[in-house]
């Protein structure tokens, strides 16, 4: 029997019981994939991160991510949580950590400042699928409980990925966003057909300090609604640049995205997009985190 250190962390927030909760197992060497899945199911967070020793000299740490029902290749808020815990437990200074995850080896920045520790992760390659056309487009809109008149006509409905793909759906107002009651069973069936498990609905407020507000539903992998999603807001940044919904200068395009209001767990994702000749080239997402509690698990 071995004792494992387990942390519950709220990501994309500096306040406990807000943002997006993630489990973190700091020394997961020795756990099988089945045991990791069982722990993730027991914790019942949208994702749990398992920190493992490096397997080659080209990275400092490996991390695996599990929802309650499946392993996923990448996760924004659980990455923030895992590296926040590593920084606190190991008393790390500001540094760059190379993590190996399901989509490859990518840098994560630990930034110490007056407001504590922030974590910034570089996401994977940016990929755009063709915009949906009917009948899939209509099925997605109806499955989310939306009407055509509530959609933002500037925003094509399409799959965008920076490592873990999401369907992006732009709408006109936050009021509509907060009132959504999607048909989760229908969305699950659509996910199996289109090969994408997450639906990120967003509304833009360009005159505000917070550019976008969003909600993310992924019932096909056991997540009815994810409070604050790095792997949705990151692709959103690339999408905004790609479709010229923002006009950035030569520096990276940076903005704040808020999510989680509708479920009482608001959090802020800081997004930065490198771009060249109007095309997004690389995406980073970051934010704060806070440890809610620590426990020991004997297996």
For residue 202, the cross-strand partners are 170, 214
φ, ψ of residue 166 to 5 degrees: the values are -140, 150
Can you list the positions of beta strands (E) in 76-189? 95-101, 104-113, 116-122, 127-128, 158-161, 166-171
Q: What is the C-alpha separation between 83 and 96, in angstroms, rounded?
A: 10
CA distances to 36, 120, 223 from 4, rounded to whole Å, are: 12, 26, 25
Q: Note if 148 is an active site residue.
A: no
Catalytic residue among 15, 47, 109, 207: 47
Q: Which of 45, 209, 9, 24 is nearest to 117 (CA)?
A: 9
Q: Which of 200, 215, 216 is nearest to 155 (CA)?
A: 200
Q: How many residues does the chain have?
A: 299
Q: Which residues are catalytic?
A: 47
């Amino acid at each position: 029997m071995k004792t494992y250190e387990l942390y519950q962390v709220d990501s994309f927030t500096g306040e406990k019981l807000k943002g997006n909760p993630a489990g973190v197992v700091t020394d997961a060497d020795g756990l099988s994939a089945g045991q990791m899945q069982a722990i993730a199911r027991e914790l019942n967070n949208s994702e749990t991160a398992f920190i493992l020793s490096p397997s080659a000299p080209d990275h400092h740490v490996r991390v695996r991510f599990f929802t309650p029902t499946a392993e996923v290749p990448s996760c924004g808020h659980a990455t923030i949580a895992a590296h926040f815990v590593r920084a606190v437990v190991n008393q790390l200074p500001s540094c760059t950590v190379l993590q190996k995850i399901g989509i490859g080896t990518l840098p994560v920045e630990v930034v110490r400042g007056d407001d504590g520790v922030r974590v910034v992760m570089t996401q994977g390659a940016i990929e755009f699928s063709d915009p949906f056309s009917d009948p899939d487009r209509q099925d997605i809109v109806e499955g989310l409980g939306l009407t055509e008149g509530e959609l933002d006509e500037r925003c094509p409905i399409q799959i965008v990925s920076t490592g873990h793909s999401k369907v992006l759906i732009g709408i006109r107002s936050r009021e509509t966003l907060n009132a959504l009651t999607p048909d989760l069973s229908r969305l699950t069936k659509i996910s199996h057909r289109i090969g994408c498990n997450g639906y990120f609905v967003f509304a833009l407020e360009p005159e505000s300090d917070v550019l976008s507000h969003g909600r993310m539903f992924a019932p096909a992998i056991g997540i009815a609604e994810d409070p604050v999603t790095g792997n949705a807001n990151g692709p959103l940044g690339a999408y905004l640049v790609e479709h010229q919904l923002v006009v950035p200068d030569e520096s990276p395009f940076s903005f704040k995205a808020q999510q989680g209001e509708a479920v009482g767990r608001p959090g802020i994702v800081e997004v930065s997009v490198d771009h060249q000749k109007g095309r997004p080239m690389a995406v980073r997402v970051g934010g704060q985190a806070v440890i809610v509690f620590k426990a020991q698990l004997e297996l």
